[in-house]
Amino acid sequence: MKISIGINGFKDFSSLEKRERFCIDGLLKLKNKNTNIELYNVCFNNENIRYDNFTTLSKLKIRSNKLIYDYFQHDGLKNEYELRKSEIDNNNKELPSVKEIFDVLASTDCDYFLFLNNDIILSNRLLKEIEDGIECYPISRMHIDDIDSLDQTPILESYSVHGFDAFLVKKDTWLQVRNNFEDFILGRFYWDTYFFTMFNLLCKCKNINKLPPVCFHIEHNSTSMENSIENYYAEDVFKRNVLVNQLWFSYVQNILLKRPTINNCKWYQPFSNEAEIEQRHFNPFSKTTLSINKNFIACENITNDGYDIFIPVALKDEYKLPHLIESIYEYQTFNKIYIVSPDKINSFKDSKINYFLDRDLLPNVKKENFSFRPGWMYQQMLKLFQNVTEKDYYLVLDSDAVLLKPLTIFNENHPIWYYGWRQNHLPYFLYLKKIFNISKSLNHTGIGDIGIFNKKIINSFLKYCNCKTPQEFISNIQSNMNLLFHFSEYETYSNFTKTYYPDLYQYSNIKQFNTGRDSNIGQYWTDQEINSTIKEAKQTDANLLLMHTWN
């Protein structure tokens, strides 16, 4: 078994502090005892920091200042950007992305890679912890008083309960789950606790924060807790992931911080059943309701003979529909339009437009049986499993959308999947993995409030799920959702096609003009307001206007 071990050393050896030299000396001792280990220093592409018996990998391109600047361009952060503009614009720090460091180590010739902070002393005992079937080993440090040599017996001060300073990861596992991870900044808030929680949710972990400890850290003053734009960025990314946030703080407060102190070493003694507690805590969604077809083969006869347009209409959005229809005729070339709604709606007298009721498309499906947002989930099933369009390809548009410019739907025989603003909603991808055994194969969201689906691919997805009918599929998933674990039609379809039809689709970011109001306080859109909003949106570079009315 080959193991690549990497650090991010950014100083010449002569400039290293004692604890940083101990880190390198400890890794050299580990390598001398194990010929299957290779040591690497992972640096920015304009650096060339070299240590004896380490291979320097000057491959890092993502820099924290650019990462932070780009992050604040997101629609939801524009006000915060204005408040912090000078702090962001004047930020010249260049710290690396942990995700990119992992990617660089995963590109080496290895079965596992290990990344550790560059002031950690790693024990050879770690290798004894490796077991068959374990995909990731998050490793917590033991704080020790100062030592003068690696041969000195350290005085133990405390087991770290708020951090993990090393991760040993199976290379193949990282390549499967990496798209779920955000770019956290090394040495700043939450990167390690985020990675710890994500790994525990997405793969089989053995958490090395028990006894005996295998990595040690000499206590010292730190600048990582300072009030900085890097820490603000990290904290904001962490808090937006509600699931990770909730699971991590519940874990540290209810388990780690309740460990007893032994011989003046705080939080030293793990509970006897701590591994079982962790398993229950981080795998509340482990039940799989679908038996996946292990012999699944994707269908090959996917052809392009044009496309229809499919529009599901909620009653609250019916009055917006004429504006969408008008924009479709103005900008798109299509076969026919299919409109589906819960009740009959005012009809457009046009031979290209066809009307259906929800219940006729999904007979014997009760929307109230969905355990999470039943109306929303029912509409997703309509989009996936309609069988009324003439063409195999059909473009789904929500009725609160308006096209602002022509959209290219095919590039030769390749359909174009449009995705929207930056988002990475973990509950969708946990559901995707736990229920369908599909990893997030796209490095961006699959959600764009628009999608070009194919009926043959939908049917192949049913076969993959060992379901003969949409009703069987829906029945199997209806009760297996909650606020932190649920289904997305766009993420499911786009990641399924990327996995099993990897060369079929092309992907493009669609620029959206988003606006909305709450229907519960009577803020419905008038025609005048809609026309005014369309006029405003057309002055931008957006392709798609979304006029939400939230219940």
CATH of the domain at 477: 3.90.550.10
Q: Which helix (H) or strand (E) holds 460?
A: helix 455-464
pLDDT average per 10 residues of sequence, the chain (551 residues): 97 95 97 96 97 98 94 80 86 94 98 97 95 97 95 95 95 97 96 97 96 92 74 94 94 96 96 94 74 91 95 89 96 97 84 94 95 94 98 96 97 96 92 94 95 98 96 93 91 98 97 80 78 95 89 62
pLDDT at 85: 85
Q: Are residues 438 and 477 in the same domain?
A: yes
Q: Which helix (H) or strand (E) holds 383?
A: helix 374-385
Let me know if residue 109 belongs to a domain: yes
Q: Are residues 37 and 140 in the same domain?
A: yes
Let me know if residue 534 belongs to a domain: yes
Q: Which of 247, 266, 282 is the last residue of a domain?
A: 282
Let me know if residue 190 belongs to a domain: yes
Q: DSSP H helical segments within 266-320, as ranges?
A: 274-282
Q: What is the DSSP string of 424-449?
A: --HHHHHHHHHHH------SS----S
* Phi, psi dihedral angles at 67 (to 5 degrees): -60, -45
Q: Name the CA dihedral angle for 493, 494, 496, 501, rounded to a multiple of 10 degrees.
A: 120
Q: Are residues 139 and 61 in the same domain?
A: yes
Q: Are residues 150 and 264 in the same domain?
A: yes
Q: What is the CATH number of the domain that holds 166?
A: 3.90.550
Question: Is the distance from CB of 210 to CB of 270 less than 8 angstroms?
Answer: yes
Q: Are residues 386 and 269 in the same domain?
A: no
pLDDT at 421: 86
Q: For residue 439, give its domain range.
A: 307-550
Let me know if residue 302 belongs to a domain: no
Q: Are residues 313 and 272 in the same domain?
A: no
pLDDT at 316: 82
Residue 62: strand, helix, or coil: coil
Q: What pTM, to 2 d.p., does this model score?
A: 0.92
Let me know if residue 293 belongs to a domain: no
Q: Are residues 79 and 145 in the same domain?
A: yes
pLDDT at 222: 65
Q: Tokens 């005729």 — which residue? A: 329
The tally of domains found in the chain comes to 2
Q: Are residues 475 and 345 in the same domain?
A: yes
Let me know if residue 20 belongs to a domain: yes
Asked, as a colleague might, if the bond just before 212 is cis with ω within 30 of 0, I would say yes
CA distance 359 to 136: 46
Mode of pairing for the β-strands spanning 166-170 and 37-44: unpaired
Question: Is the distance from CB of 498 to CB of 328 less than 8 angstroms?
Answer: no
Q: Which of 265, 282, 299 is the last residue of a domain?
A: 282
Let me know if residue 180 belongs to a domain: yes
DSSP 46: T
Distances (CA, A) of 543 to 254, 318, 327, 407: 48, 22, 11, 8
Q: Are residues 333 and 457 in the same domain?
A: yes
CA distance 100 to 56: 15
Where does 330-372 show beta strands of DSSP type E? 337-341, 353-357
Let me know if residue 296 belongs to a domain: no
Q: Are residues 326 and 200 in the same domain?
A: no
Q: Are residues 313 and 240 in the same domain?
A: no
3-state SS, one letter per residue, for 451-519: EEEEHHHHHHHHHHCCCCCHHHHHHHHCCCCECCECCCHHHHHHHHHHHHCCCCCEEEECCEEEEEEEH
CA distance 182 to 191: 9
CA distance 278 to 134: 15
Where does 264-377 show beta strands of DSSP type E? 307-312, 337-341, 353-357
Q: Are residues 196 and 330 in the same domain?
A: no
